[in-house]
Amino acid sequence: MESNNKLVFSRRSFIRTSALAGGGVLIGFNLFQACKPEAKPPVDISQLNFNDFNAFIKIADNGMVTIFSPNPEIGQGVKTSMPMLIAEELDVPWDHVHVVQGALDTKNFTRQVAGGSQSIRQGWEPLRQTGATARQMLVNAAANKWGVDPKDCSTKEGYVFNSSGDKLGYGELVKEASVLEVPEEVSLKKPENFTIIGQDVPNVDLDKIITGQPLFGLDYKEDGMWVASVLRAPSFGLVLDGYDDTEAKKVNGVEQIIEFKNRIAVLAKDTWTAMKAKSLLKANWKEDTTLESTEYHDEKLLNLLNGKEFNTMRSDGDVEKAFAQADQIVERVYESPFLPHNCMEPMNFFADVTDQKVRLVGPIQTPEGTARQVATLLERDVEDVSVEMTRMGGGFGRRLYGDFAQEAALISNLTKKPVKVVYTREDDMTAGIYRPAIKYKSAASIKDGEITGYHLKEASVNSNMYGLIPNFFPAGAIENYRVDVAKYNSNITTGAWRAPYTNFLSFAEQSFFDELAEILNKDSIQMRLDLLEKVKGTEDERIQYSPERLQNVIKEAVAKSGYGNAAEGVYQGFSAYYCHNTHVAEVADVVMENDVPIVKKVTCIVDCGIVVNPLGAKNQVEGGVIDGIGHAMYGNFIFSDGAPKDKNFDTYHLIRINETPVVETHFIQNDYAPTGLGEPTLPPAGAAVANAIKAATGKRLYKQPFVNELKVKAPLG
């Protein structure tokens, strides 16, 4: 095996091995530490015990490898792709590898990392090093047996070979390997020698999913468990003011009804009984804070945009001067509503709080943070709290928040019973932690036919864009550049939603550039390429994107989609965006049917570095693009008197199969370290579609959802 990339750092800090009583070896490593490059190894290695490790590789006597993956799976495929990295460097065939969600032993799995688009990027080096370290120990064991230099040995598909052609299977070496020193220095494979990375590997839970086996939080059961359905305030701003549970109590199978923190929980023997009894509760609510509505938010946010109070997040050159000297100023306002996550699996969590411990089980993206929150809430030591993760029926950001786990813990603590809290769809949609409603004002100054200044203003509910975003395109490309933000504090809970901020900012920006090109009478592709040209060789270290890589996906998208040469009756829209360390360009093809624009196809070009699992990656890309289109087109989440107007899928429109375009995906081939895919293909989709609709109808879209602007019920795909 070829080697390069010598890396020297203390592997013993996060890897230890031990022989298993039943045969085989267990290799423990600390993924939490390993994934944080800035994390310091512990000073005294002998102080470490296995409870400090949270991920394991087991190599059995028969050479079969089990990887206990601690990363929460929310549908972005990390449960498949992260073990692929270990298996690659361990040099075993993928069909000898068995992946287990590492949640069986709560003691050993108390520290876990959250999923999301960062998992693969952060795990790229450490996971491969872990695999390579284990491989090296097996090689050393074989070399000892043969009495040869380990350097003269090689590995392939689960065997160690020496130069005389002898071979030993990993299973025959595990016993010896387990007592060897952990090597300080290992070599990683060159990308051209990868045998697993870059191959199509199906979802590891595929068999279980298609046969309906229990996997998800909602499927979790224990003897003696009660199901809790919780009545929460129907509006943000209301508090509980007494209730009558006479009717609810009459329902057969109801165990207990309790009030807690402005909520009422019904505990019953099964889910239906709990939900039914909850619907019979008669609660009184009184106004505590303002009951806000969408019109109210519109007014507040527009006032902010038109006002003077902003935080400046980045300022280059002199925007005011550029605007004062301009021949022309182009200014547009883009508007988006709140959005619920609507994970297909409604929120749920199990908690069993006893004097000895607090046991939590369920679908969560942030097990560690949740354990801490629950410990604080119940005034318990965090050591008493264990979190076991199930597979998740979607995340999209909603399962970063442990509010539902806290609820389960509170109820179990009060009742001293093991409880699983289950949300109805209505609960899920009305007790959300929504994407905040946001408005952008994009302004450009034009002098002698060129863009001389760019001023972006954001008015958002509760929180503003994170610090890296102002350093995305067009930062660095326009001399006078400023990003200002302002926010309105609402009592409506908001948080991360797939590709936070960029999911809408990208629409505003890429629509704006399309319109600028039109106003300047420029080719919109050439204009983007020219702007990016100016960023090349920049010494500004804050700039997040690579102008070369962004230019590259743009050119590739033009070539693959035939942009500019569309067939008769096909209207195309273009969009390119960088976020989550990945560069993406998309072209949407729209046709008109009965005066309604229909999105037929989207061509998507992605540069995410090395594609670890092309099959899973393609699935992510398609999902992101369609999700982006679905929400831009239909996502209409309106508040009135503090309550969401839509509470279930009868009136809230999620994109369906008959509204879905075909997504054609192309990955840029290169050797860059892999970057995330769960999010970055979503943001550009809205603008690609909006720009195509402009081409088809002449109408520019400034506000989501598009259906409202187009005054059509449902454009079908």
Partner 1 sequence: MPVYSIKINGESHSVEADPDTPLLWVLRDHLNLVGTKFGCGMGQCGACTIHLDGSATRSCLLKVSMVDTMEITTIEGLSKDGTHPVQLAWKEIDVPQCGYCQAGQIMSASAFLAQNSNPSKTDIRDAMSGNLCRCASYNRIEKAIETAASKMS
If the CB atoms of residues 219 and 518 are measured against partner 1, the closer one turns out to be 219
From residue 319, give the alpha-carbon distance in Å to each of 248, 451, 477, 481, 696: 63, 11, 14, 6, 34
Q: Which residue has the closest beta carbon to ligand FES?
A: 344
At its nearest, how many Å lie between partner 1 and the CB of residue 390?
11
Does residue 78 interact with partner 1 by CB under 8 A? no
Does residue 394 interact with ligand FES by CB under 6 A? yes
At its nearest, how many Å lie between ligand FES and the CB of residue 393?
6
Q: Could you give the CA distance from residue 422 to residue 408 in angstroms, rounded to a whole number?
A: 9
Of the candidate residues 48, 180, 615, 638, the single one contacting partner 1 (CB under 8 A) = 615
The 3-state secondary structure of 603-653, one letter per residue: EEEEECCCCCCHHHHHHHHHHHHHHHHHHHHHCCECEECCEECCCCCCCCC
**In 3D, which of 359, 118, 83 has the Cα closest to residue 205?**
83
At its nearest, how many Å lie between partner 1 and the CB of residue 210?
5
Does residue 104 interact with partner 1 by CB under 8 A? no
If the CB atoms of residues 46 and 651 are measured against partner 1, the closer one turns out to be 651
Q: Whats the size of the chain, residue-wise?
A: 717
Q: Could you give the CA distance from residue 114 to residue 73 in angstroms, rounded to a whole number?
A: 9
Q: Which stretch binds partner 1 (CB under 8 A): 36-44, 242-250, 265-273, 584-592?
A: 265-273
At its nearest, how many Å lie between partner 1 and the CB of residue 125?
26
If the CB atoms of residues 344 and 673 are measured against ligand FES, the closer one turns out to be 344
Interface positions, 384-443, toward partner 1 (CB under 8 A)? 391-396, 424-425
At its nearest, how many Å lie between partner 1 and the CB of residue 616?
8
End-to-end CA distance of the chain: 49
* Tokens 């079969």, residue located: 64
Which positions from 122 to 151 touch ligand FES by CB under 6 A, shown as an x/- string? Answer: ------------------------------
Which positions from 61 to 90 touch ligand FES by CB under 6 A, shown as an x/- string? Answer: --------------x---------------
Residue 209, contacted partner among partner 1, ligand FES, none, CB below 5-8 A by kind: partner 1
Interface positions, 188-247, toward partner 1 (CB under 8 A)? 200, 202-203, 205-207, 209-216, 218-219, 221, 227
Say if CB 481 and CB 671 are below 8 A apart. Answer: no
Residue 62, contacted partner among partner 1, ligand FES, none, CB below 5-8 A by kind: none
Q: Could you give the CA distance from residue 52 to residue 30 in angstroms, rounded to a whole number?
A: 7
Does residue 346 interact with ligand FES by CB under 6 A? no
E-strand spans in 406-495?
Answer: 419-422, 438-447, 450-461, 480-488
Of the candidate residues 90, 134, 138, 343, the single one contacting partner 1 (CB under 8 A) = 343
Which positions from 620 to 639 touch partner 1 by CB under 8 A, shown as an x/- string? Answer: x-xx-xxx--x---------
Tokens of residue 119, six digits: 């998992």
At its nearest, how many Å lie between ligand FES and the CB of residue 623?
8
Residue count, binding to partner 1 (CB under 8 A)? 64
**In 3D, which of 228, 238, 217 has the Cα closest to residue 278?**
228
Q: Could you give the CA distance from residue 257 to residue 278 in angstroms, rounded to a whole number?
A: 9
At its nearest, how many Å lie between partner 1 and the CB of residue 537?
39
Residue count, binding to ligand FES (CB under 6 A)? 3
- Residue 640 has φ and ψ, to the nearest 5°, of -140, 135
If the CB atoms of residues 302 and 654 are measured against partner 1, the closer one turns out to be 654
At its nearest, how many Å lie between ligand FES and the CB of residue 7?
37
At its nearest, how many Å lie between ligand FES and the CB of residue 192?
34
If the CB atoms of residues 396 and 472 are measured against partner 1, the closer one turns out to be 396
**In 3D, which of 330, 577, 318 has the Cα closest to residue 449?**
330
Q: Could you give the CA distance from residue 356 to residue 137 in angstroms, rounded to a whole number?
A: 40
Tokens of residue 516, six digits: 């600028």
Q: Could you give the CA distance from residue 683 to residue 691 in angstroms, rounded to a whole number?
A: 14
Three-state SS at 145: helix
Q: Could you give the CA distance from residue 33 to residue 30 in angstroms, rounded to a whole number?
A: 5
Say if CB 291 and CB 237 are below 8 A apart. Answer: yes
Q: Could you give the CA distance from residue 236 to residue 572 in angstroms, rounded to a whole number?
A: 42
If the CB atoms of residues 159 and 404 are measured against partner 1, the closer one turns out to be 404
Say if CB 486 and CB 311 are below 8 A apart. Answer: yes
Q: Could you give the CA distance from residue 406 to residue 99 in angstroms, rounded to a whole number?
A: 29
At its nearest, how many Å lie between ligand FES and the CB of residue 394?
5
If the CB atoms of residues 179 and 344 are measured against ligand FES, the closer one turns out to be 344
Does residue 585 interact with partner 1 by CB under 8 A? no
* Tokens 């994934």, residue located: 35
Q: Could you give the CA distance from residue 149 to residue 146 in angstroms, rounded to a whole number?
A: 9
Does residue 234 interact with ligand FES by CB under 6 A? no
Tokens of residue 698, six digits: 């002449």
Interface positions, 532-551, toward ligand FES (CB under 6 A)? none
Residues at the contact surface with partner 1, assessed by CB under 8 A:
73-77, 200, 202-203, 205-207, 209-216, 218-219, 221, 227, 252, 270-273, 275-276, 342-346, 391-396, 424-425, 615-616, 619-620, 622-623, 625-627, 630, 648-650, 654-658, 660, 662-663
Which residues bind to ligand FES, rule: CB under 6 A? 75, 344, 394
